Chains A and B, each alone.
Chain A
Amino acid sequence: MRSSDRLPAGAGTRLVVVGHGPAAARLTEALTAGGFAGRVTVLGEEPRAAYDRVALTSYLSGRTAEDLTYPVPEGVALRLGRPVVGIDREARTVTTADGHAEPYDTLVLATGSSPFVPPVTGRDLPGCFTYRTIDDLDAIRAACAGARAGVVVGGGLLGLEAADALRGLGLTTHVVEMAGRLMPRQVDEGGGAVLRRHIEALGLAVHTGTGVREVVAGPDGRVAGLVTSDGETIEAQVVVFSAGVRPRDELARRAGLAVGERGGVVVDDGMRTSDPAVYAVGECALHDGVVYGLAGPCLTMAEVAADRVLGGEAVFTRADTSTRLKLLGVEVAQFGAAEGALDVTFMDPVGGVYQKLLVSDDARTLLGGVCVGDAAPYDTLRPFVGRDLPAAPGELLFTGGPADLDVPDDAQVCSCNNVTAGRVRAAIAGEGLTDVAGIKSCTRAGTTCGSCVPALRKILAGAGVEVSTALCEHFTHSRAELFDIVRVRGITTFSRLIAEHGTGRGCDVCKPAVASILASLGGGHILDGEQAALQDTNDHFLANIQRNGTYSVVPRVPGGEITPDRLIVIGEVARDFGLYTKITGGQRIDLLGARVEQLPLIWRRLVDAGFESGHAYGKALRTVKSCVGSTWCRYGVQDSAALAVALELRYRGLRSPHKIKSAVSGCARECAEARSKDFGIIATEKGWNLYVGGNGGFSPRHADLFAADLDTGGLVRVVDRFLMFYIRTADRLQRTSAWLEQQGLDHVRRVVLEDSLGICADLDAQMERHVASYTDEWRAVLDDPDKLRRFVSFVNAPQTPDPSIAFETERDQIKPVLIPLEATR
């Protein structure tokens, strides 16, 4: 590759990129990273910047265009909605549709491809779509609103994605595939049969070995159905063509650049076209007779071109087209060669698993493989393609092979970003990486399609990275391990736990963590007996400490719904005790500036008016926000407020590794911001969609769709299990977002939805115990003179307020007079 002494490269060069898709985005990023000193102008056809097409379908399940959009490096001039219509290679200019001529010294074509639509009658009728852009998806979504059934033409990778999308939009879905099986490029006949059974079990109709004869219109002139080439008529209001793509080479063709017989701009190993001033990258490029439609090779081409522009000598070689993906919940993977001298097949028709390894005639060298239903062999074996097998092929398929498979250093683990195992190992050792997130940011491995993440985890483990999970100096266990010890051994006190399993007398890390575990397992009031000494000051005074040593009071307002009478009580209490009053982000009211000895007096008034603790001070459920929902809102489709109230009352007081926030939105407009919550619920026409792992705070994260169209009972059961599994297994102070990333969304889904660990009955019972044993912590304190006695500023002067606390007035309310710092130095 390029040596660094050539920098700065490209000074004064005008580089123009035609098209702004993933390959163009990677090109500009690589140029910027390489210190390109010239001017980069990108002319994009679409009205929006490049976005991740691999994740396109997730746009329909809630990810926004912004989520999918790649960042544009600083200094790159991006002009969107400016399609290029001509190239003048002599004058070295390109002309955009609006007549503007843009001069270049170096031109890069990244025009991508266009969907192939077979030339059949009716293919342009309203209701016919392709599946490539965000605009396509918007149009499909709109058309599906009034439709009953849809047909996808093409049963390849993208066709099944489109079918998944139609199904998700509520349509009866058909797939028509010309070849004799689904995904003919990735799987063989045996795999195709297993895949078909999976797809049909989901309610999709599969028609293979047949094409489209015509699309027929109804009386309204819109699509009413599709006739297959063997004469069958399928009723449908939506038709999506996904029968392959064609490289967009028309600009190059008109400009006299060499193009392939079947399309594609001819490029050499350095991505240069027949004109040395013009490069082509991505799906429009034809390299060594091949046009690539996979993200990995296209991104590699962009990097090679960038390196060449910067004066380097990178070459593009025939790319690995291995695929691993999950379509309609079915894992499908293909790697290496499609044919070999010998094959070893594992087939489990009941479990719907098909796995085949292709090996050399001496059965020692791995040539390739196909997996349907369970792609685990892809993770472990793909790096061994072209090498000696690490064990007998049968053993590898039946038992998964030896646990400690050592991937050779020069084997590629991430084909999207061309990262070898050696590079990952070097990054782990050199940068002291301890997790997959670190590997991603350091090497880019796993950042595009994510299929190599399990392999990255193995390398991490194999590198002997030992991340200490010890809670603190007093316990060598992780929080999850302590949780199990407490649960299984029935330990009810910190003293016994630390005597039997720890050392010393604890600290501010392990004591609250153990207090939380005891509380999660139904340990009674958090201030009972020895537990009182485990709580941090917030839990100890059931209020949140503020910077001047006063506390805040937050009564629970379930779902944010409050009667005028109760609102008045809060106002009166705040006025009578002179508290600063603020509306919180969780749809309740924060009263600040209370001294310790005022807390019971304040709560006496609140409890008498029917309020209870809001647990704003605890690592526990905080609030379940809501919008007004279908009761009032003209857009609402479900009663979000009622569900929010019910959920908040169900999970109130539930102690957990960190705080838990929730929200319920009554329609897809999402006014309650449910997707920024630990668990968020968005109403659908059919029920509720549950999202999990959302977060605001330091590292904002949009929640992932966990389960769709649940009825209320089903939703509650799933949330019960999700929360209890989180409480059992998360680290201390680990929000659901980080926990979910660590566990993996699929794993948590399997545990919660499919009971893969066989613990759901236990989780259910644990939640039932919590719900049945809930009592209001503040009412219990008010009823207990021993606990009440602790609410004093001074043990020897219970009536005396702390003289160091003082207030002044700002905007008609109190604010603390801060005490000057006088650290004893």
Chain B
Amino acid sequence: MTVLHETPPAAPSGTPPAALSGTPSGTPSGGPPGADTAPRWTPVCAYTDLLPERGVCALVGRHQIALFQTFDGELFAIGNHDPFSGAQVLSRGIVGTRGGSPVVISPMHRQAFSLATGACLDDPAVAVPTYPVRLADGAVEVSAP
């Protein structure tokens, strides 16, 4: 799931509500524990640390999270673990589009994963987790369970 920094998206059903960038609506990481549905946000880097269409990996707790900024500035976060090779490498894949939707392509065996849903587009039985991500005061924050 994603959080836009410019226009509010419709929240996909069954997922935590999305938030606008710069208008943090969740509880920052380390803050008082909130309700079960409120994500705990962890700042991981500055927005300017990200290159468009080039991923980075953030370590949040024991989660390795691949973070991407697409060409139009949108942020996405999915698991870094490549289910086909077992290696933590999805953040190092090439970012592009397939049929108009943003994807990252595994640098190992070249399967495409949707940045929006985590679904593997080359094997419908496989998906990687997605994480809420937002921009807060120029910082990129992600929420891991």
Contact = CB atoms under 8 A, between A and B. Distances in A.
A795 B45 contact: yes
B38 interface: no
Interface residues of B, number: 46
Interface stretch (A130-138, A280-288, A501-509, A679-687): A501-509
Interface in A794-825: 794-797, 800, 802, 804-805, 818-825
Contacts of A717: none
B96 A506 contact: yes
B18 interface: no
B100 to A, nearest CB: 6
A473 interface: yes
Interface stretch (A107-115, A479-487, A545-553): A545-553
Interface string A506-518: 1110111000000
B99 A473 contact: yes
B125 A825 contact: yes
A540 B92 contact: yes
Interface stretch (A394-402, A531-539, A574-582): A531-539
Interface string B66-88: 01001100000000000111111
Interface residues of A, number: 42
A434 interface: no
Contacts of A533: 51-54, 94-95
Contacts of A532: 51, 54
A474 interface: yes
B89 A549 contact: yes
A548 B95 CA distance: 21
Contact of A547 (B87, B98, B128): B87
Contacts of A822: 83, 86
Given A505-B97, A537-B93, A794 B57 contact: yes
Nearest to B123: A823
Contact of B96 (A508, A538, A795, A800): A508
Contacts of B64: 794, 802, 804
A534 B44 CA distance: 24
Choose among B84, B85, B87 the residue with the greatest number of A CB atoms under 10 Å from its CB: B87
Contact of A507 (B56, B96, B107): B96
Interface in B77-133: 83-89, 92-100, 102-103, 105, 107-108, 110, 112, 125-129
A795 B56 contact: yes
B76 to A, nearest CB: 13
Interface of A: 473-474, 495, 504-508, 510-512, 530, 532-534, 536-538, 540-541, 545, 547-549, 789, 793-797, 800, 802, 804-805, 818-825
Interface of B: 42-45, 49, 51-54, 56-60, 64, 67, 70-71, 83-89, 92-100, 102-103, 105, 107-108, 110, 112, 125-129
22 contacts: A504-B97, A504-B100, A505-B70, A507-B112, A508-B94, A508-B96, A508-B105, A508-B110, A532-B51, A532-B54, A537-B89, A537-B92, A540-B54, A545-B108, A794-B58, A794-B64, A795-B45, A796-B43, A802-B88, A818-B86, A819-B87, A824-B126
